[in-house]
């Protein structure tokens, strides 16, 4: 018998601190099993397409958001998110706080290395590159819709 034997019963694969070193480990990164961002859809207001949009479905996708990107074409919707930050980001963003029905309850612009405070009634956050909301004429009270894939 070996001096060091991992606390894994015979036939079990992966566990604990090994994080995917054993084939089939259920705790490590899920390669190809689950998409973190839904396929690109369309953001609409009153039936008019404003931009392409990605929806961050998982906790990991919401935690990463737009970090690591050099720019943002379109928008990113973060459901079940009340506030955001731009710590480590390379560009400024426009942020819209949305209620349960995707009605805009507030907007702001965040420069890099800033923290955004949550807004009353906000249940989701919409992020886009700075200046996008001005081009789209997005205002408080607008009812948005996500369609597509």
Q: Could you read off the pLDDT of 92-113 as tens digits, one per residue? A: 999 999 999 999 999 999 999 9
Q: Which residues pair with 148 in a beta bridge?
A: 41
Domains in the chain, CATH or no CATH each: 35-148 (2.60.120.1140)
Tokens of 137: 């004429």
Helical H runs in the chain? 59-64, 132-136
Residues in the chain, pLDDT under 70: 1-39, 149
Residue 126's closest CA among 17, 69, 44, 23?
Answer: 44
What pLDDT, on a 0 to 100 scale, did the predictor assign at position 13? 47
- Supply the pLDDT for residue 14: 45
Cβ within 8 Å of residue 82, ≥6 positions away? 97, 118, 119, 122, 123, 125
Nearest of 6, 69, 48 to residue 147 by alpha carbon = 48
């Amino acid at each position: 018998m070996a001096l060091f034997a991992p606390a894994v019963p015979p036939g079990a694969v992966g566990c604990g601190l090994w994080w995917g070193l054993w084939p089939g480990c259920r705790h490590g990164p899920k390669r190809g099993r689950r998409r973190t961002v839904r396929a690109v859809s369309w953001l609409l207001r009153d039936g008019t397409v404003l931009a392409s949009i990605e929806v961050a479905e998982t906790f990991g996708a919401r935690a990463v958001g737009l970090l690591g990107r050099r720019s943002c074409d379109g928008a990113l919707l973060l459901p079940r998110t009340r506030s955001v930050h731009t710590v480590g980001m390379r560009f400024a963003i426009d942020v819209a706080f949305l209620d349960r029905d995707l009605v805009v309850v507030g907007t702001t612009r965040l420069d890099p290395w800033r923290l955004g405070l949550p807004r009353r009634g906000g249940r989701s956050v919409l992020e886009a590159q700075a200046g996008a909301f001005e081009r789209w004429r997005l205002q408080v009270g607008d009812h948005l819709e996500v369609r597509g894939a």
